[in-house]
């Protein structure tokens, strides 16, 4: 089985979507590291390099899959943000080499910023009481 087929088997492919709404997904997963439109660079030991583009990832939940895949292909797996600007994670031979610093409190504050309308409604509700 080639590296491409392995990644498809684990449901990593071009254009993968985990939700139709980014804000909806962030609302229900506020403490997770979620990357929308991420790029995955795969460097297998015996085959040539390939990219998986525009792939939505929840790195908090899919770290184990990426570790397993890096071990099976005996190579490197790099995860970049949209536009390939920031390296978020690097997996090699089943080990996690690098992960972007992520703190749950920062994520929680971001989730509050993502839902200003709900806070506005809640404030109006409190004023009526």
For the chain, what is the mean pLDDT? 78
Q: In what helix (H) or strand (E) does residue 76 lie, and over which residues does it extend?
A: strand 76-80
**What pTM does this model have?**
0.71
Which residue range is the domain that position 81 belongs to?
Answer: 3-128
* Residue range 24-46: mean pLDDT, rounded: 86
> Alpha-carbon torsion 82, 84, 87, 92, what sign?
positive
Q: Mapping DSSP to helix (H, G, I), strand (E, B) and coil, where does residue 49 land?
A: coil
Instruction: State how far the Cα of 111 lies from the Cα of 76, in Å rounded to an integer.
Output: 32
CA distances from 8 to 14, 105, 113 (A): 9, 34, 35
Instruction: State how far the Cα of 101 lies from the Cα of 112, in Å rounded to an integer.
Output: 20
* Residue range 51-74: mean pLDDT, rounded: 89
> How many domains is the chain built from?
1
């Amino acid at each position: 089985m080639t590296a491409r087929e392995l990644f498809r088997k684990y449901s990593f492919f071009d254009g993968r979507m985990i939700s139709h709404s980014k804000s909806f997904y962030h609302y229900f997963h506020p403490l997770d590291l979620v990357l929308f439109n991420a790029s995955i660079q795969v460097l297998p030991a015996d085959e040539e390099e390939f990219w998986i583009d525009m792939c939505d990832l929840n790195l908090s939940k899919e770290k184990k899959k990426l570790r397993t895949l890096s071990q099976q292909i005996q190579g490197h797996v790099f995860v970049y943000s949209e536009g390939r600007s920031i390296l978020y994670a690097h997996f090699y031979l089943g080990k996690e080499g690098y992960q972007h610093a992520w703190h749950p409190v920062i994520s929680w504050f971001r989730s509050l910023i993502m839902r200003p309308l709900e806070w506005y409604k809640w404030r109006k509700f409190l004023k009526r009481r």
